[in-house]
Amino acid sequence: MATDVHRPVTTTPSAVRVEGLTRAFDGRAVIDDLQLDVRPGEFVALLGRSGCGKSTLLRILAGLDRDIEGTVLVPRRKAVAFQAPRLMPWKKVWRNVLLGLPGKPERAVAERALKEVGLDQRSDAWPKTLSGGEAQRASLARALVREPDLLLLDEPFGALDALTRIKAQRLVGELWQRRGCAVLLVTHDVEEAVLLADRVLVMDGGVIAHEREIDLDRPRDITDPRFAELRADLLERLGVDTAAEAA
């Protein structure tokens, strides 16, 4: 697998390898000697309280922030989708999907990705006419045309209503299984993390403070008692008092 590197390495058995990563703002280390490995094709969810550095880590992995210390190895082909879909209002949906791609990609490339996210009917629409869920799917299509080996998602469902969110979660699960790319999903939703991920990480104090393999068969059943146990364990790691929550 080809890699972007901060050291001259050409291959890595991991989709992501991070060693001794530190990122400081104004002398304060938000990420502090962090280690992280993600296997090719692995689905990893990243939890952590607000402000703990999740988006900072994601932006570094996406190559959007290079003001760092440490080693960061990621696939050359990577794509990122944020909570806000960030579509250009003056470009139709299909042109947004192709935005930033090298060369002169044909419209058919965008159409294929839009079909994959169930949005091929809105290819000619203007972004402002899309619903929140549709805009988020357009943003996913824009990530997919990059044929990423690593898909970075920063709370992509955070702004969606409950039903649209469930549909979007299902879509991401299907895309991941079909594409076989590694995924790093930042979320505040513990249930979403347990539903989708092979492994859940909890970030705290600038490092990955806790990790938990999710060894439940797919598709996952949220009524499975083991699902509830994993959810409770992770909530506890996040400092949420589950006994009080149940009361």
Amino acid residing at 218: R
Rounded Cα distance, 73 and 19, in Å: 9
Minimum distance of ligand ATP from residue 86's CB (angstroms): 15
Q: How does 78-105 read in b/e, with b if 16+ C-beta sit within 10 Å?
A: bbbbbbebebeeeebbbbbbbeeeeeee
What number of chain residues touch ligand ATP (CB under 6 A)?
10
Q: Does 85 bind ligand ATP (CB under 6 A)?
A: no
Adjacency order of strands within the sheet including 28-38:
3-4, 69-75, 16-25, 28-38
- Work out how close the CB of 205 gets to ligand ATP at its nearest, in angstroms, rounded to a whole number: 12
Decide: is 52 part of the binding site for ligand ATP (CB under 6 A). yes
Distance CA 46, CA 32 (A): 16
Residue 87 structure tokens: 């579509």
Residue 55 interacts with ligand ATP (CB under 6 A)? yes
Is residue 48 a contact point for ligand ATP (CB under 6 A)? Answer: yes
Pattern 195-214, binding to ligand ATP, x per CB under 6 A? --------------------
The least distance separating ligand ATP from the CB of residue 95, rounded to whole angstroms, comes to 29
Q: Which of 3, 21, 44, 56 binds ligand ATP (CB under 6 A)?
A: 56
Binding mask 53-92 for Mg ion (x = CB under 5 A): --x-------------------------------------
Work out which of 54, 122, 146, 212 binds ligand ATP, going by CB under 6 A: 54
What is the contact surface with Mg ion in residues (CB under 5 A)? 55
Interface residues with ligand ATP (CB under 6 A)?
25, 30, 48, 50-56
